[in-house]
A and B are shown apart, each in its own frame.
Chain A
Amino acid sequence: MSSLQSQDVVARSATTTPSPSVRSTPQIAKLIDESKCIGCKACQVACMNWNDLRDDIGENIGVYDNPADLTPSSWTVMKFFEVEPENGSLEWLIRKDGCMHCEDPGCLKACPAPGAIVKYSNGIVDFISENCIGCGYCVKGCPFDVPRISAKDNKAYKCTLCSDRVGVGLEPACVKTCPTGAITFGSKDDMVTYGEKRAGELQERGFKNAGLYNPQGVGGTHVMYVLKHADRPELEDLPANPTISPMVSLWKGIAKPLAVAGMVGAVVAGFFHYMKVGPVESDEKSEGADEKEPS
């Protein structure tokens, strides 16, 4: 499948010239309010239904998580956490895991295949699977450990934020199906405002550290959470300060032009050295005369 929204691409993997971006769409976001989530997994069902994906039947690992982790055909997964934020205060936290749709996507930065990952002006980061070469660099680039590579076709897959639905004015399938309204969808600004309002309500009800998870280390995300314990996102396996790894930034940042300049420079330097200094010649008085090879 090619990109459905080919004229509002603001970033394209392994591409150094501007992408088609004549059309500009408002920035959108999905907000997941964990305080309203009942862990019913309707979002998982809606995701596999709309995207027409069926995961292999797996193993029960003794907890509700099913499947236990994201897979190439399970793009969203409910994760359940039994935690004690304070001593003796058992809480059951449920987080809908999936792609965060970073404003500064590490997967796109790391991807070496032109056009295999694009970011639309609305903020959605999409894998254009036909351009994927299966190298797995997106896995190294992602601060949230989201992309999964299929063993069947060696292509990377993840949540598309239903770019095909959003592109025609619909909300993502998980949002449409959520029975409690825990998942909402709208403009990024509206969702930030609404998320902060919800966090304030939770604070009034005793969750002192409730807050919006919209990490600025990756420029903010287009999937945000309202967390009951926003001061400790690691309780739910979320990085506290996600950023693109410095290794990836170095590798896909300054190292690229520097190394190319070094390699081209070495050839050019050799060429001019030869032209200036000339070759080192041996005094061969009778060069080319009867050769005597040693036996």
Chain B
Amino acid sequence: MRYLRRYEDGQRMNHWVVALLFVLAGLSGLAFFHPSLFFFTNLFGGGAWTRILHPFLGLAMVICFLGLFVKLWRDNRMTEADKAWSAKMGEMLKGNKEGMPPVGKYNAGQKLVFWALSWSLLVLLVTGFMFWRPWFAPYFPIDVMRIAVLLHSIAAVVLVISTIMHVYAAIWVRGTIRAMTRGTVSEAWAKKNHALWHAEVTRKQ
């Protein structure tokens, strides 16, 4: 069995830092979103501490995500070929992977998740500053903050649901998690799921 390198160690560690910060920023933020989730503040030392920590955790997550973004955005540009793949996505979800058009390093679904994560993090960053107490909130009028909190919540939900899809896809497609735990994937995995990328990588060798 041959293994192909899919991620450098630096990218993998970067990914896991973002993942850990996502969990922390996510839990601390959800605590303020719905009363049924307020108990998450217990993980951070109470309500006031959660309020203090959340913006720092979120900002750290965005900064770390930037490290992944600059490395990966080129491979995530949507192309014409992605349309054909997207059209057949329903079939794939039913379990018929065979008829799918061959894709490169990322398929249209992965690209969609990438841009959903990128855009939602950008919105979270910008709107988050607008009501970050006590330092930045005083510079923004109340009407602007009202829009900011709503957009912040919407972006957070988009981020969480995209991440759930991201995690599920990694579990669903066997052999994927290895790309982030070892940096490599099996040749059979590459052939089956990313045929064009497989051809490109093996041609170089």
- Whether the pair B149, A293 counts as a contact (CB closer than 8 A) is no
The answer to whether residues A140 and B164 also contact, given A112-B32, A145-B142, A280-B174 and a CB cut-off of 8 A, is no
Q: Which of A247, A259, A289, A293 contacts B146 (CB 8 A)?
A: A247
- Whether the pair A293, B3 counts as a contact (CB closer than 8 A) is yes
- Whether the pair B1, A291 counts as a contact (CB closer than 8 A) is yes
Set of chain B residues within 8 Å of A154, measured between Cβ atoms: 48, 133-134
Number of A-B contacts (CB under 8 A): 149
A283 to B36, CA, bound (A): 44
- Whether the pair B48, A256 counts as a contact (CB closer than 8 A) is no
The answer to whether residues A134 and B1 also contact, given A280-B172, A280-B173, A293-B184 and a CB cut-off of 8 A, is no
**Interface segment, one of B15-23, B57-65, B79-87, B187-195:** B187-195
- Whether the pair A284, B133 counts as a contact (CB closer than 8 A) is no
- Is A139 located at the chain interface by the 8 A CB criterion? yes
- Whether the pair A282, B36 counts as a contact (CB closer than 8 A) is no
- Is B165 located at the chain interface by the 8 A CB criterion? yes
Set of chain B residues within 8 Å of A273, measured between Cβ atoms: 93, 168, 172
A245 to B150, CA, bound (A): 11
The answer to whether residues A278 and B95 also contact, given A135-B133, A140-B131, A291-B1 and a CB cut-off of 8 A, is yes
Q: Which of A139, A255, A266, A282 contacts B165 (CB 8 A)?
A: A266
Report whether over half of chain A's contact residues are helix, strand or loop; otherwise say mixed: loop
- Whether the pair A262, B157 counts as a contact (CB closer than 8 A) is yes
- Is B50 located at the chain interface by the 8 A CB criterion? yes
- Whether the pair A251, B153 counts as a contact (CB closer than 8 A) is yes
Report whether over half of chain B's contact residues are helix, strand or loop; otherwise say mixed: helix
Q: Which of B33, B145, B164, B205 contacts A267 (CB 8 A)?
A: B164
Q: How far in angstroms is the closest Cβ of chain A from B181?
A: 13
- Is A16 located at the chain interface by the 8 A CB criterion? yes
Q: How many residues of A contact B (CB 8 A)?
A: 53
- Whether the pair A16, B36 counts as a contact (CB closer than 8 A) is yes
Q: Which of B122-140 contact A (CB under 8 A)?
A: 131, 133-134, 137
- Is A292 located at the chain interface by the 8 A CB criterion? yes
Residue among B32, B146, B168, B193 with max Cβ neighbours from chain A (10 Å): B146
Q: How far in angstroms is the closest Cβ of chain A from B124?
A: 14
- Whether the pair A113, B165 counts as a contact (CB closer than 8 A) is no
The answer to whether residues A282 and B47 also contact, given A145-B142, A277-B95 and a CB cut-off of 8 A, is no
A134 to B4, CA, bound (A): 51
- Whether the pair B137, A136 counts as a contact (CB closer than 8 A) is yes
Closest 3 CB pairs of A and B: A133-B47, A270-B168, A282-B188
Q: List 21 A-B contacts (CB under 8 A).
A: A14-B35, A14-B38, A112-B33, A133-B51, A134-B133, A135-B32, A135-B51, A136-B145, A149-B133, A154-B48, A154-B134, A245-B143, A248-B150, A262-B157, A262-B161, A263-B161, A273-B93, A279-B173, A283-B188, A284-B1, A294-B4
| B residues with CB within 8 A of A | 1-5, 31-38, 41, 46-48, 50-51, 93-95, 97, 131, 133-134, 137, 142-143, 145-147, 149-150, 153-154, 157, 160-161, 164-165, 168, 171-175, 184, 186, 188-189, 191-193, 205
| A residues with CB within 8 A of B | 14-16, 112-114, 131, 133-137, 139-140, 145, 149, 151, 154, 245, 247-248, 250-251, 255-257, 259-260, 262-263, 266-267, 270, 273-274, 277-294
